[in-house]
Structure 1
Amino acid sequence: MDSPPTSTSRLPPRHPRPRRKSRYPNDAMPMLYLILLVLLTATPLRGQELPPVLTEEEFLARVANHHPLAVRADLQRDRARALLQEARGGFDPKLYGDLAQKYYRGTRYYSVAEGGLKVPTWFGVELNAAYERNEGYYLNPENTVPENGLFAAGLTLPLGQGLMFDQRRAELQRARIYQQATAAERLVQLNELLYEAGSRYWEWAGAQGAVEVYTEAVELARARYAAVVNSAALGDRPAIDTLEAQILVQNRLLGLESARLEAANAAAALNAFLWLDGVIPLELEADTRPLDPASVVVAPPEPLPPGTENPALLRTRLKVDELEVDERLQREQLKPRLDLKYNALLAGGVDRPLESFSTRDYKWGLTFSQSLLLRKERGKLALTRIKLSETQLELSDKAAQLSVKLAQADNEARVTVAQYELARRNASDYARLLDGERDLFRAGESSLFLVNSREVSFIDASLKQLELMVKHRKARLARRFAAGLTLPVVEGGTLPSE
Structure 2
Amino acid sequence: MKKYFRRFPAAAIIIVLLLTTIKSIAQTTPVTDTARVFALEDLQLLVFRYHPIVKQAALLSESARANVLQSLGYFDPALKAGFGRKLFGDTEYYNNWNSELKVPLWLAGADLKVGYDRSVGTYTNPQTRTAHEGLSGVGLSIPLGQGLIIDARRSTLRQSKIMVQYAEAEQLKQINSVWYAVVKDYWNWYYAYRQFALLTEGVELAERRFKALSRQTTIGDKPAIDSVEAYITVQERIIQKEKTKIELQNARLVLSNHLWSGQGNPLELPANAAPPQIDENITRPSQSVLDTLVAQASGQHPELLKLRSKGGQLAIERSYRQEMLKPKLNVSGTLISNRTSFRGNVPDYYDFNWSNYKLGIEFAFPLFLRAERGKLREVKIKQRELDYDLQQTGREIRTNVLASYNNLSAYSAQLNVQVQSISNQQTLLKGETQKFDLGESTLFLINSRESKLIDMKIKRESMISDYQKSLAELYYKAGTRQFITQN
TM-score of the superposition, structure 2-length normalised? 0.86
Distance (whole Å) between structure 1 residues aligned to residue 189 and residue 479 of structure 2: 23
Cα distance in 1 for residues equivalent to 2:118 and 2:315: 47
Q: 1:78 to 1:277 in 2, by over 3 A?
A: farther
Aligned match of 1:243? 228
What is the match of residue 417 of structure 1? 412
Q: Deviations over 1:422-476 (max 9, x none)?
A: 1111112211211221222223221111112211221121122111111110111
Q: Does 1:65 align with 2:59?
A: no
Instruction: Determine helix, strand or coil for the equivalent of 1:62.
Output: helix
For 1:117 and 1:446, the matched residues in 2 are separated by: 104
Alignment of 1:224-263 (within 5 A): 224-263=209-248
Which among 299, 302, 306 is matched to residue 311 of structure 1?
Answer: 302
Cα distance in 2, alignment partners of residues 353 and 485 from structure 1: 72
CA distance in 2, matches of 1:203, 1:278: 27
1:252, CA displacement in angstroms?
1.3
Deviation of 1:82 after TM superposition, in Å, equals 1.4
Residues 21-69 of structure 1: CA deviation (Å, up to 9, x unaligned):
xxxxxxxxxxxxxxxxxxxxxxxxxxxxxx9211112212312221221
2:448 aligned residue (449, 453, 467) = 453
Counterpart in the other structure of 1:437: 432
Count how many residue pairs are aligned between Structure 1 and Structure 2. Answer: 441
Equivalent in the alignment of 2:158: 173
Structure 1: which 5+ residue stretches go unaligned? 1-50
Alignment partner, residue 119 of structure 1: 103
TM-score scaled by length of structure 1: 0.84
Question: Among residues 345, 350, 366, which one is paired with 1:351 in the alignment?
Answer: 345
Residue aligning to 2:423 = 428
Find the counterpart in structure 1 of residue 197 from structure 2: 212
Code of the residue aligned with 1:89 in structure 2: it is: G
Q: Which residue of 1 aligns with 2:366?
A: 371
Question: Unmatched 5+ residue regions in structure 2?
Answer: 1-34
Is 1:195 matched up with 2:195? no
Deviation at 1:206, TM superposition (A): 0.9
- Kindly state the Cα deviation for residue 178 of structure 1 after the two structures are TM-superposed: 1.4
Query: In 1, distance between residues paired with 2:150 and 2:456?
Result: 69
Distance 1:91 1:296, change over 3 A: farther
- Deviation per CA, 1:84-140, whole angstroms, max 9, x where unpaired? 111111111111112222223331111121212111111211111111111101111
Q: Which amino acid aligns with 1:332?
A: E
Of 389, 394, 402 in structure 2, the residue corresponding to residue 407 of structure 1 is 402
Contact 1:146/1:348 (CA < 8 Å) preserved in 2? no
CA distance 1:287–1:143, shift in 2 (3 Å)? same
Tell me which of 77, 96, 104 is aligned to 2:61: 77
> Alignment partner for residue 274 of structure 1, among 259, 263, 271?
259
Q: Which residue of 1 aligns with 2:275?
A: 290
**Contact between 1:485 and 1:496, CA under 8 Å: does it hold in 2?**
no
Give the Cα separation in 2 of the matches to 1:169 and 1:278: 42
> 8 Å contact 1:68–1:278 — kept in the other structure?
no
Distance 1:52 1:486 in 2: 26
Q: CA deviation at 1:353?
A: 7.9
Query: How far has the Cα of 1:296 moved from its partner?
Result: 6.5
SS of residue matched to 2:233: helix
Q: Report the CA distance shift for 1:158/1:495 in structure 2 as closer, same or farther (over 3 A).
A: farther
Aligned partner of residue 286 in structure 1, secondary structure: coil
Alignment of 1:118-137 (within 5 A): 118-123=102-107, 124-137=109-122
Q: Is the 8 A contact 1:71 1:278 kept in 2?
A: no
- Tell whether the 8 Å contact from 1:84 to 1:175 is kept in structure 2 after alignment: yes
Shift in Å, 1:352: 5.9
Letter in 2 for 1:259: T
Give 1:381's match in structure 2, choosing from 373, 376, 382. 376
CA contact (8 A) 1:97 1:114 kept: yes
Q: Is the 8 Å Cα contact of residues 132 and 151 (structure 1) preserved in structure 2?
A: yes
User: Any idea what SS the aligned residue of 1:281 has?
Assistant: coil
